[in-house]
Amino acid sequence: MTTAAALWGAVAFSGIYHGGNPGMGWPLAVSAALMERKTVALPRALGLLAAGHFLSMLAILLPFSLMIFLLEWELHIRITAGVIVIAMGVYLLVHRQHPRILARIPPARLALWSVLSALAHGAGLMLVPLFLGICAVGADAGHKAAETLMQNNLLIALVVASLHTFTMTLAGAVVAVTIYLWLGLKFLSKTWFNLDLVWASSLVAVGGFGIYSAVGGH
């Protein structure tokens, strides 16, 4: 129970972490509200960003949830996932330029931008070691048919993506509303912070944690 609670807590915390990162889109929500000069544009933009982020999380998590041999190959899959996450982090550490395709997406297509941005930054990959750990904690080897196991994993994937997206949207909304209502763009331009290095390093850390927890039997 302690391990499961820690993993679910990590899912929620990663959402807060993603939401506070400007690279996940909250500046676009502030920009939309300022350009339209309508407060309602802010929650609408945040909703589109949340929808895109949610779809991106599912696109990464669902393939893993459909692996009916997850129990038999659990250790191999978790280690492989950890290595992939670390590789993504190292890649982002070496190549710090943002994908050009994101700049070509029209501002009105926030959901599409959110999907591609999350994929490009490895946001969904960061959840994979946590997701696999939760599946391993809830699994009962030898007593679950493949169909039941797959259904449970699908449900867990939906809940993980939902919890993560909710906390991400909440954190992003707090920052966006604060900037929009009180601090303004001038404050944002003077205090802009770049989390690219921290983001890439966190991917390496999460991947390492995934490998450690898999080998340690957690």
pLDDT tens column, 7-36: 899 999 999 999 988 878 888 888 888 888
Q: What's the rounded Cα separation, in Å, for the pair 155 and 175? A: 30
User: What does the domain layout of the chain look like in residue ranges?
Assistant: 2-215
Averaged confidence pLDDT in the chain = 83
Number of residues written out for the chain: 218
- Which residues have a Cβ under 8 Å from the Cβ of 82 and sit 6 or more positions away? 129, 207, 208, 209, 210, 211, 214
What predicted TM-score, i.e. pTM, was given to this entire model? 0.86
Tens-digit pLDDT profile for residues 41-51: 899 999 999 99
Tens-digit pLDDT profile for residues 166-207: 999 999 999 999 888 877 666 666 655 666 788 889 999 999
What value does the mean pLDDT take over residues 124-128?
A: 91
With cut-offs at 50, 70 and 90, classify the pLDDT of residue 164: very high
